[in-house]
Amino acid sequence: MKRLLLVLLFVLLVVAAGAAYWVTQRVSQPFAGFTGEQFVEIPAGESTTGIGRRLVAAGVIRDDLTFRLAVRWHGRGRSLKAGEYRFTTAAAPAEVIDRIARGDVHLETLTFPEGLTAAEMAVLFAQSGLGSADAFVEASRDPAAIAAIDPAADTLEGYLFPDTYHLPRTIDGAAMVGRMVRRFTTVFDEDLRRRASATGLTVRQIMTIAALVEKETARGEERPLVAAVYRNRFRIGMPMQADPTVIYALKRAGRWNGNIRKADLSFDSPYNTYRYPGLPPGPIASPGKAAIDATISPADVDYLYFVSRNDGSHAFAATLTEHNRNVQEWQVEYFRKRR
């Protein structure tokens, strides 16, 4: 009897070992029932069974049994996360389950450089293939998302924060715009808001000047100097006379051809700071954090003027006489020598 029991025990152990080996092989053997790349979208709230069906239908896992075995083998059925997953090569079921449990979703990368208008961002958004430019523009016209910070805003111009975003393969314009405004409110945090308030300027005025700074220079060391120029002009009631505002006005009117002519300086638009005193009605682009910081904490200088040195840098001056000398050197003589 003992011998029979030992034999039965041995058989059971062999069967158990064989089953364990079979399961191990089943959940660890790579499989791909697709060619190229395969995307699997797992909606929020999807059941474990439903997830398995999606993976099998997509050819990522061989069959329902293999999926169930992999889930039980790892005990992660309750931790599978929603999202879109991209598969390009054969993967073991255990690896697939692990990826979904980690939430290793597929994301596209889209970078919006500093200094773009909402319309220019919409073009970039559409070119990425993620969504519609028209929907982006339409969403950017609704200021509701920024009303708590800038009650005077009539659009989201200036508040779509330039950054690198990691996105699903498709996202509608409103969702994209929403992310960008939320990113702005995260960057423009309590500390920045407190510092901005201490300047005596409104958030809208800060962002309007910061947009000018962003458009005028790409050099980090110059941003506080350019910010000082515009804040000094604003403080004493001197016209801003900023070329980027003229360009923005012409773009809004569909009249920008890549060059500013003398006649453009009198173009009738509230954004034309050669024709209308003070700041333009609002930001003319979306500034980055460095430009915002520079505007809140400008250089302690009395500069009122600057002119391009034609290499990306600028010559600054506190008086018109000094500025005229800089213009003569860097605009008149500089180009005369190159004829």
Regarding whether 132 and 111 lie in a shared domain, the answer is yes
Residue 335 maps to a domain:
no
Taking 60 as the threshold, does the pLDDT of residue 9 lie above it? no
Confidence label for 72 from pLDDT (cuts 50, 70 and 90):
confident
Token representation of residue 214: 């962003």
Measured CA to CA, the distance from residue 289 to residue 292 in angstroms comes to 5
For residues 198 and 79, the model is more confident at 198
Give the residue-averaged pLDDT of 154-173. Answer: 95
pLDDT value of position 309: 94
Task: From 65, 83, 102, give the residue that closes a domain.
Answer: 102
Interhelix angle 289-296/190-198, rounded to 10 degrees, is 30
What are the distances in angstroms from CA 100 to CA 78, 104, 214, 311?
A: 11, 6, 41, 51
Q: Do residues 88 and 97 make contact, with C-beta atoms less than 8 angstroms apart? A: no
pLDDT value of position 18: 46
- b/e burial code for range 297-322 (CB count within 10 A of at least 16 → b): ebbeeebbbbbbeeeeebbbbeeeee
Residue 222 maps to a domain:
no
Interhelix angle 2-28/64-74, rounded to 10 degrees, is 110
pLDDT value of position 70: 83
Taking 80 as the threshold, does the pLDDT of residue 277 lie above it? yes
Regarding whether 129 and 78 lie in a shared domain, the answer is no
Q: How many other CB atoms are there within 10 angstroms of residue 230's CB atom?
A: 25
Taking 90 as the threshold, does the pLDDT of residue 133 lie above it? yes
pLDDT value of position 170: 86
Residue 313 maps to a domain:
no
Taking 80 as the threshold, does the pLDDT of residue 27 lie above it? no
Residue 270 maps to a domain:
no
Task: From 187, 206, 229, give the residue that closes a domain.
Answer: 187
Q: How many other CB atoms are there within 10 angstroms of residue 119's CB atom?
A: 14
Residue 144 maps to a domain:
yes
CATH of residue 78's domain is 3.30.1490.480
Q: Is 180 exposed, middle or buried (0-12, 13-18, 19+ CB in 10 A)?
A: buried
Residue 213 maps to a domain:
no
Q: What is the mean pLDDT of the chain?
A: 90
Regarding whether 125 and 175 lie in a shared domain, the answer is yes
pLDDT value of position 31: 87
Regarding whether 115 and 43 lie in a shared domain, the answer is no
Regarding whether 125 and 92 lie in a shared domain, the answer is no
Residues 6+ apart with CB under 8 A from 244: 211, 212, 215, 216, 284, 285
Question: Among 76-90, 103-117, 227-241, 289-303, which is the least confidently predicted range?
Answer: 76-90
Regarding whether 117 and 176 lie in a shared domain, the answer is yes
Which bin fits 45, alpha (ψ -120 to 50), beta or left (φ > 0)? left
Residue 172 maps to a domain:
yes
Q: How much is the pTM? A: 0.83
Taking 70 as the threshold, does the pLDDT of residue 3 lie above it? no
Interhelix angle 93-102/64-74, rounded to 10 degrees, is 60
Task: From 187, 215, 231, give the residue that closes a domain.
Answer: 187
Residue 79 maps to a domain:
yes
Percentage of residues in the chain with pLDDT exceeding 70? 91
pLDDT value of position 1: 61
Structural domain span for residue 43: 25-102
Taking 90 as the threshold, does the pLDDT of residue 5 lie above it? no
Give the residue-averaged pLDDT of 86-115. Answer: 92
Domain count, the chain: 2
Regarding whether 53 and 38 lie in a shared domain, the answer is yes
Measured CA to CA, the distance from residue 89 to residue 128 in angstroms comes to 25
Regarding whether 117 and 130 lie in a shared domain, the answer is yes
Q: Which range scores top for mean pLDDT: 12-21, 60-69, 70-79, 198-207?
A: 198-207
Give the residue-averaged pLDDT of 133-139. Answer: 97
Taking 50 as the threshold, does the pLDDT of residue 16 lie above it? no
pLDDT value of position 19: 45
Give the residue-averaged pLDDT of 292-309. Answer: 97
DSSP-derived secondary structure for 233-248:
HHHHT-----HHHHHH
pLDDT value of position 4: 54
Confidence label for 117 from pLDDT (cuts 50, 70 and 90):
very high
